[in-house]
A and B are shown apart, each in its own frame.
Chain A
Amino acid sequence: MSVTDVDTVEAKTATDVRRVKKGEFRSARGLLAPAVIFLILLTQIPFLVTIGFSMIKWNLLYPKDRGFTGVDNYVTALSSGALWPSIVATVLITAFSVIMSLLFGLLFALLLDRQFPGRAVARTLMITPFLVMPAAAALIWKYSMFDTNIGILNWVSRSLHLPVVSWSTEHPLLAVVIVLTWQFTPFMMLILLAGLQGQDKGILEAAQVDGAGTWRTFTWITLPHLRMYVEIGVLLGAVIIIQVFDPVAILTKGTGGTKTLAYLLYERAFIGLDVGEAAAYGVVTVVLTIIVATVALRTLFKVFMAGGSR
């Protein structure tokens, strides 16, 4: 097969709309059935059970007092006043962490896009925070960075004769965001670096020939090119960070406006030991997440659609 052959084949599949016969469809579906059924069993049954639990009164500590309550648990969940602050906390933490890690990710991606000796080592080191387990990352920050006695940050402020700051107490939201930013900057950096390296060198050279400076080249050529990668990074990052649990549990215990939905749910289930109420919170959380995810996925599909708005 020569190069031209491949080109024509590609052109064909891209332009011709393939008509699939109904029979072919059916057999394809039949072959997929085991996997699909398995997937449904694995994902949907636990959710249905959760919905079932959310309709019953069941506190683990009152074994004899179990029964159907209908929507009581939902009324409790929505009227307890814990849900709204929790949604606010989740949104704030997610938004700030995504934006911060995106900015830092872009900065480091631009630096790593250049040729310099030891670039591979630098790249590996930059990725490390993303490979550290979330709980371990939160512990590292809690003790060796934020701590008032042994933390590096306070050692620095002591040496500069600045006041000692107890980060996770005085700035709980910021502390959680800092940890998450540190963790997710490499993730954003990798996506953006892939984007940068996918730039057409020819266009960049043309810009140089036309006398565009570095800044103009960056704002007029590189940034529009990166738009798609930024969108993917933001979407994936938001979907992961919205479930944040570890830094909240380890740094702040949900105090100071950092009680995210995941942590609230954990408290109801494992400290309140109230299966019904926790299940109701879980269902509410799922509904909210589905709304966010639908909007997000729509946008994601737009990104992948050839000949979309780009």
Chain B
Amino acid sequence: MTTSVDIVSEGTDSPYALSHLDALESEAVHIFREVAGEFERPVILFSGGKDSIVMLHLALKAFAPAPVPFSLLHVDTGHNFPEVLEYRDRTVARHGLRLHVASVQEYIDAGKLRERPDGTRNPLQTVPLTEAIQQHRFDAVFGGGRRDEEKARAKERVFSLRDEFSQWDPRRQRPELWQLYNGRHAPGEHVRVFPLSNWTELDVWQYIQREKIELPQIYFAHEREVFKRSGMWLTAGEWGGPKESETPQKRLVRYRTVGDMSCTGAVDSDATTLDAVIAEIAASRLTERGATRADDKLSEAAMEDRKREGYF
């Protein structure tokens, strides 16, 4: 039963229809430009992972032919993949960007952070991150978080106000209406900004393909020495694996996310091209995080709890 009181629309074959990737791109660029217009000292969190690579690509497009008016911040856990660090430095040099590095290892060496018994360094990133934000007085911090990643992130705003301790309070979020982002904050507070909020993992990959964006090679299938821990293939290395009870073996694998070696698992894959990766993800019955992230399995609300503490 359709009652047309007044027809206001036409078919989707309109010449003015935007593809979903164009619509997401346009929205993300709008968010970058809003931040550039409203904040004094924004910074892009850049890990060398695909989401931050797409963020940087969008920022480059948003301000072209001028340079990106933001610097980059990387929280280096000390257990990062060498290929990714190499990619990071090459990218920074190519675009003439400024990179700040907050080092978990330095915090551990200085006795300000203690290694966890399980060897996972991901949760240790929060302190160096929040201190770097305070030290550099960053007032807007771009993160590559997507709402499709995790159920606590589904509740996250595009502009997410954080207090002076970088804490997220899900009950005190500002309603976000239309495309009117409210970035007002008190001194010491800052705003986390998520331009990829409305993107899914598949959108990110399709966009990488369309824009021919280069990625670190660990995203594609390659032979690697790995061992099994908590049901995941972890890369063997000096960071702390394998233990005596764990047996290393060579496998054909690739990574769906790029994080700390101690908590990011590889997936068995023979996808060596973008087409193959996209086909694999589209057919996968596991989410990106469910497949490869140990830190989210710590408890039912692991992500929410870390976000409350200031994690990105």
Chain A bound to chain B: no
* Chain B residues with a Cβ under 8 A of chain A: none
